[in-house]
Amino acid sequence: MQFTIAIDGPAAAGKGTISKAVAAHFGFAHLDTGLLYRAVGAKTLDGTDPVLAAKALIAQDLDGDALRTPEVAQAASKVAVIAEVRAALVDFQRAFARRLGGAVLDGRDIGTVICPNAEAKLFVTASAEVRAERRYLELKNKGLDITLAQVLADVKERDARDMDRAEAPLKPAVDATMIDTSDLSIEAAVLQAVAAIDAARNSGTEA
């Protein structure tokens, strides 16, 4: 059985949390595609060429909390504008999406570019203030010395770069179900996501 769930949205919208919960609910594998760009971005901080880094990426590069820092997030969104970097990462993502047993991929361009034929597509969003607050608490809990204002500025800067780029810009697929998590608990957001995916599964059965 092949079934791809594409979950896109801006920085810190709750894609990761929803994706993990949805993957567990349906028993599907999950790929956080942001980690690919974060791993490439992290390598450029050591001076490595981003295109070479993307071409040489291996599974171990995706491990570790070091990829979750704001500095690496910024580096990720800078390498993510480079067409050759994105091209180097396409095959891996598409192969993952079509693995047997079902797959959930979350990112920015999954429903639009990587898997335009995904069986279910969600676009998860929330106000910039709510997203910054959530990310701030996450980073604080990890012991990072950071202010809410810095996190808000980081989120807005990355969103602007992600939406304005020529290559695979961040935008909802025309057939994506929108979920605004600004006023939703995690449980409520996951319930909405599961309901939308169930609807897509049932319509697939009838077709």
Site string for ligand CDP, 63-102 (x = CB under 6 A): ----------x--xx--x----------------------
Contact status: 43 vs ligand CDP (CB under 6 A): no
Interacting residues with ligand CDP between 109 and 138 (CB under 6 A)? 109
Binding mask 155-194 for ligand CDP (x = CB under 6 A): ---x---x--------------------------------
CB of 52 to ligand CDP, least distance (A): 18
Question: What is the full DSSP assignment across the chain?
Answer: ---EEEEE-STTSSHHHHHHHHHHHHT-EEEETHHHHHHHHHHHHTT--HHHHHHT--GGGG-SGGGGSHHHHHHHHHHTT-HHHHHHHHHHHHHHHT-TT-EEEEESSIIIII-TT-SEEEEEE--HHHHHHHHHHHHHHTT----HHHHHHHHHHHHHHHHH-SSS-S---TTPEEEE-TT--HHHHHHHHHHHHHHHHHHHHH-
Among 4, 19, 33, 177, binds ligand CDP (CB under 6 A): 33
Candidate list 5, 6, 12, 122; residue touching ligand CDP; CB under 6 A: 12
Binding site for ligand CDP (CB under 6 A): 11-12, 33-34, 37-38, 73, 76-77, 80, 107-109, 158, 162
